[in-house]
Amino acid sequence: MTVPALRFQHIVKRYADHGVLDGVDLEVMPGEFFGLVGVNGAGKTSLLKCLFDFCPLDGGDIAIFGQPHRLAAARAPLSFLPERFTPPYYLSGADFLRYVLTLQQIDYDAEAVVRVLRALDLAPAALTRTVRGYSKGMTQKLGLAACLLARKPMLVLDEPMSGLDPKARALLKEELARWRAAGHGLFFTSHALADVDEICDRMAILHDGRIAFAGTPAQCREQYGAASLEQAFMRCIA
Ligand SMILES: Nc1ncnc2c1ncn2[C@@H]1O[C@H](COP(=O)(O)OP(=O)(O)OP(=O)(O)O)[C@@H](O)[C@H]1O
């Protein structure tokens, strides 16, 4: 039996007396493209923070490729880009990439860096500029480049399309298609249901602290008798 890449079992998360996650069960398989959707404040980012052990669980267990998530080694197969990515402003783009790759014991391959930047529509000339001069979209592209260059088995991205212009979004989807073809997986949060429909093998709707739906986008439309994923989502959370 294949061991899930990510396995969330009965996850409970509270901030003080404010309950956010109330028994989340979810499995993501290796090589799968999986989208997590939910309204603002549903707890998507909280679930990712729990996955990376940035905050403690109030209940439940998380396993990464079968290992307890609290072990640093268990998290090694994952590359994570947070929703609000803020690299150290005084580093150049190249220094930042060198820094994160060195932390992961990966050599800085100048050709691979330029290829990934071009694939994301970030001019290689940006590598010599300090990050403080980057626009929001450029910063997002730098973070995505760092994740892609690490070539980990699974990317975990919190709203990866945010801040990207339509061209960069289209290019990122093309790059993700190559990522999938190479056998790597993706777990991401998004409010762009069209993107979820287009690129996901499976998706889940997080609502009222639990998974209200998990399955393929087509199953979601079918289950809620909806013509579009947006309509299915609205019916699911009604
Ligand atoms: N550190 C924190 N302390 C207190 N409350 C928090 C904290 N982080 C998140 N919350 C609360 O937990 C709830 C879920 O937030 P979270 O960011 O996980 O939702 P989300 O689904 O990612 O939302 P969005 O789609 O708007 O990004 C919100 O009510 C938020 O205010």
Kindly list the domain boundaries of the chain, sorted by start residue.
1-77+153-168+185-238, 86-152
Maximal CA-CA distance, the chain: 52
pLDDT at residue 134, rounded to an integer:
95
Calpha distance 186→174 (Å, rounded): 14
Calculate the CA 93 to chain-centre distance: 21
- The gap from C-alpha 6 to its chain's centroid, in whole angstroms, comes to 12
**What's residue 163's pLDDT?**
87
**Residue with CA at minimum distance from ligand 1 atom 17:** 45
Residue 42 backbone phi and psi in degrees, to 5: -65, -25
Query: DSSP state, 108?
Result: -
Q: How far is the CA of 108 from the centre of ligand 1 (A)?
A: 35
- For the Cβ of 105 lying below 6 angstroms from any atom of ligand 1, the answer is no
DSSP-based helix, strand, coil % in the chain, nearest 5? 40, 25, 35
| Integer Cα distance of 55 and 98 in angstroms | 28
**Atom 3 of ligand 1, residue of closest alpha carbon:** 15
Query: Could you tell me if 38 and 44 are in contact, meaning their C-beta atoms sit under 8 angstroms apart?
Result: yes
Q: Is ipTM beyond 0.85?
A: yes
Look at ligand 1, atom 7, and give the residue with the nearest C-alpha.
15
State residue 162's pLDDT score. Answer: 87
Q: What angle do CA 60, 66, 69 make, to 5 degrees?
A: 50
Q: Is 7 in the pocket of ligand 1 (CB under 6 A)?
A: no
Other residues' Cβ atoms within 10 Å of the Cβ of residue 203: 24
pLDDT, one tens digit per residue, over 106-157 is: 999 999 999 999 999 999 999 999 999 999 999 999 999 999 999 999 999 9
Spacing, Cα 41 to ligand 1 middle (Å): 5
CATH number (3.40.50.300, 3.10.180.10, 3.40.470.10, 3.30.1130.10) of 1-77+153-168+185-238 reads: 3.40.50.300
pLDDT at position 40 is 96
Question: Whole-angstrom Cα distance, residue 202 to residue 192?
Answer: 15
Residue stretches of the chain with pLDDT short of 50: none
